[in-house]
Amino acid sequence: MLEQTGIPEASDINGVFPSDERLAKGPVAVIECFQRIPCNPCSTACRRGAIEAFDDINDLPKVNHEKCNGCSLCVSRCPGLAIMVVDMTYAEDKALLKLPYEFAPLPEEGSSVTALNRAGEAVGEALVVKVQNTPALDKTPLVSIAVAKDLARTVRNFRVTDDTSAESPGILRGDEAPSPMVCRCNDLDLDNIRDLMKKGFTSIDEIKRVSRLGMGPCQGRNCIPLVLGELSRFLGKPVSELDPGTYRPVVKSVSLGAVAEYDGEALTE
Amino acid sequence: MIKTDLLVIGAGPAGLCAAVAAGESGKDVLILERSHTPGGQLVKQTHMFFGSEKQHAATRGFDIASILLDKLNAMSNVRMVTNATVLAAYDDGLWTADILGKYEKIMPQAVVCATGANEKSLAFPGCDLPGVYGAGAVQTLMNQYGVLPAERAVMLGAGNIGLIVSYQLLQAGVKVLAVAEGSARIGGYLVHAAKLRRMGVPIMTAHTVKAAYGKESLEAVTLWALDDKWQGIPGTEITYRADTLCVAVGLSPLSELLWQAGCKMLYVPALGGHVPYRDDNLRTSLPHIFVAGDAAGVEEASSAMVEGTLAGLSAAEYLNAAPADIKERKNDCLSQLAQLRSGHVGERISAGLELARIKEAAGIC
């Protein structure tokens, strides 16, 4: 499922693909935007009104496939890189996919690359037909690749280098894992904090006074949220009911000399 | 001591927009930025933004930073200082800062706190090994400083930051071995997830890190599956040889200064942590302090920019320098925010914002 894996399902893709009749007429935009998020540049990018204006900025884009001529103006404007242009009329047995591609090196026109599906798996060969990288594209180059027609709904990416060094991660033996560090400034780990809680130090200020928790350079920004979580579990109370301790001046280390030498002229020039 | 009409803390998307909106009123605006460069997270956002044209959709983040800075630089009443960390807020209205190593006192009439957020960390065995990074830190190294931080990386977290940084690691030539996500669903935008998947990167939902291993620095990362109570399931371990583990498990609002100033605060998990109560004008429980961006609750940069504009307008209004069309402009901001928050991710944020909303003071006038 998309929300668990990040991979759109075939039904998601088929739902946003134009009809076979429309595909037979020439290039057309396909937008893989399946979640309501506040974003509308696609609709304002289209000069033909083929992406319907949004009532709400969270609307999903609706492409009027009859108005769309596959010009690809919207492709590099989509912050989610969710748009490609598909041309099923490119050749007898090949479809042309125009994809946004933000990686270096860009492929060379005429070169062969490995076509990848939406999980990044190799599914075939593709020929790089065109590479566009004009200033108007603002660093989102467009790469047109030709793929076998029956892969037009499968391919969504490609790989320039032939890096197939897939590695199987091994299980690491030995559980000599140390107690997690909580406060690096004062060298307090989770066992130290839990011991203090068991001894009856059950507020941030108490733990701070006995251990110097939060009194180092980070001034508690890293450790205090962690210890609040531990206290919450130990006391069975939500964090909202716990006192986060007193925030005293100053919020970062400052030398006594700087204060002593105060002359009111730090900002004069 | 520096006197200014408005102090804006932070020159990220929210702070820059607040300074632009307030600067147009003619009031003196001082922006203090802790980093050596303005722009906040925008400068490392090499991807195109979502949203609509009003929030610069389809423009890359670093280009948006330039657009906002050009606007600011044209205003003689706005002064921006980098390498300037606001240190403290005192209850008599005084603020202090470290400006290029010198101590400074500031007495502003109004303040917009746009301090942003901090990456959350996670405690697991080996989490302190060199090579275990916040994902945002890796993004800064790569996209801002041009440093390649990794050869083989594992990403923890499939929210937008985890997904986007994984994609940018691939663009930099890093082998991204897997993206693990504790929850059962991908939290970020599915279009970002699809971009990664078709590059062959597995996204493993209901998985987290069990431990990180290495002698001097990270050498291997073990992931395992989680049951529905978020407990690791023995026997499901997978170990990757990796030199980098990026942790992208959320952000916490940077709210210390608001605590110190005395703003009324609330813990809202949907907003990332402790946030100030605020009204519809982004005014906190203290009349002269406004909040915008991730400091008000962790969201996207698009809404941070709109919030910044709204807070800047509200601050100008508080300083009796409201533009003639303030009502329309504020309503425009509110309707943009409502739209940005109406989608799938926005529902949870909207519910969180409702908890922290001061209802009685909807209008300042």
Across the interface, whether the CB atoms of A57 and B340 are under 8 A apart is answered: yes
Give the mean pLDDT of B312-337. Answer: 97
Shortest CA distance to B173 belongs to which of B195, B193, B144, B153? B153
**B201-245 residue pLDDT tens:** 999 999 999 999 998 999 999 999 999 999 999 999 999 999 999
| Same domain, residue pair B103 and B132 | no
Residue of A nearest to B118 (CA): A221
ipTM, 2 dp: 0.91
β strands within chain A, DSSP E: 28-31, 83-87, 94-100, 112-116, 122-132, 142-148, 157-159, 181-183, 188-189
CATH code of residue B139: 3.50.50.60
In a domain, B363, yes or no: no
In a domain, B19, yes or no: yes
In a domain, B361, yes or no: no
Chain B residues in contact with A82 by the CB 8 A cut-off are: 191, 194
Mention every residue, 6+ apart, whose C-beta is less than 8 A from residue A182: A188, A189, A190, A192, A193, A213, A223, A226, A227, A230, B123
Distance CA B60, CA B358 (A): 35
Distance CA B327, CA B290 (A): 18
pLDDT for residue A161: 75
Picking from A37, A120, A252, the nearest residue to B197 by CB comes out as A120
| Same domain, residue pair B156 and B264 | no
| Same domain, residue pair B227 and B304 | no
| Same domain, residue pair B131 and B162 | yes
| Same domain, residue pair B127 and B215 | yes
In a domain, B39, yes or no: yes
**Is the pLDDT at B306 greater than 90, yes or no?**
yes
Distance CA A33, CA A15 (A): 11
Across the interface, whether the CB atoms of A169 and B121 are under 8 A apart is answered: no
Using only C-alpha atoms, chain B has a radius of gyration, in whole angstroms, of: 21
| Same domain, residue pair B132 and B240 | yes
Shortest CA distance to B174 belongs to which of B146, B151, B141? B151
| Same domain, residue pair B60 and B103 | yes
Residue A208 phi, psi dihedral angles, 5° rounding: -60, -45
Which amino acid, residue A106?
L
Sheet holding A142-148, edge to edge: A28-31, A83-87, A94-100, A142-148, A122-132, A112-116, A157-159
| Same domain, residue pair B319 and B204 | no
Counting the structural domains of chain B, the total is 2
pLDDT for residue B364: 44
Distance CA A70, CA A87 (A): 8
pLDDT for residue A268: 60
Residue A148: exposure state from Cβ atoms within 10 A (0-12, 13-18, ≥19)? middle
In a domain, B360, yes or no: no
Parent domain of B193: 121-247
Element (H, E) at B190: helix B190-197
| Same domain, residue pair B236 and B145 | yes
**Is the pLDDT at A174 greater than 80, yes or no?**
no
CATH no. for A181-252: 1.10.10.1100
How far is B281 from chain A, CA to nearest CA, in Å?
22
pLDDT for residue B365: 40
A25's tokens: 């007429």
Interface mutation vs chain A, best among B29, B81, B129, B197, most A CBs within 10 Å: B197
Chain B residues in contact with A57 by the CB 8 A cut-off are: 51-52, 339-340, 342-343
Percent of chain A at pLDDT > 70 equals 93
pLDDT band at B138 (very low <50, low <70, confident <90, very high): very high
| Same domain, residue pair B230 and B278 | no
CB atoms within 10 A of CB B350: 14
The most distant pair of C-alpha atoms in chain A lies apart, rounded to whole Å, by 82
Residue ranges of chain A assigned to CATH 1.10.10.1100 = 181-252
Residue of A nearest to B206 (CA): A4
| Same domain, residue pair B243 and B125 | yes
Mention every residue, 6+ apart, whose C-beta is less than 8 A from residue B290: B18, B110, B111, B112, B113, B278, B281, B282, B283, B284, B311, B314, B315, B318
Say whether B350 sits in a helix, a strand or coil. helix
How far is A23 from chain B, CA to nearest CA, in Å?
24
Picking from A32, A34, A39, the nearest residue to B51 by CB comes out as A39
Residue A233: exposure state from Cβ atoms within 10 A (0-12, 13-18, ≥19)? exposed
Chain A residues in contact with B339 by the CB 8 A cut-off are: 38, 56-58
User: Among B229, B247, B265, where does a domain finish?
Assistant: B247
Percent of chain B at pLDDT > 90 equals 94
In a domain, B341, yes or no: yes
**Is the pLDDT at B181 greater than 60, yes or no?**
yes
DSSP letter at B58 equals T
pLDDT band at A264 (very low <50, low <70, confident <90, very high): confident
Across the interface, whether the CB atoms of A37 and B50 are under 8 A apart is answered: yes
Which amino acid, residue A175?
D
Question: The pTM is what?
Answer: 0.93
User: What average pLDDT does chain B have?
Assistant: 95
pLDDT band at A171 (very low <50, low <70, confident <90, very high): very low
User: Among B247, B267, B299, where does a domain finish?
Assistant: B247
In a domain, B196, yes or no: yes
**Is the pLDDT at A60 greater than 70, yes or no?**
yes
**B32-56 residue pLDDT tens:** 999 999 999 999 999 999 999 999 9
Across the interface, whether the CB atoms of A172 and B220 are under 8 A apart is answered: yes
| Same domain, residue pair B165 and B108 | no
User: Among B223, B247, B271, where does a domain finish?
Assistant: B247
How far is B15 from chain A, CA to nearest CA, in Å?
19
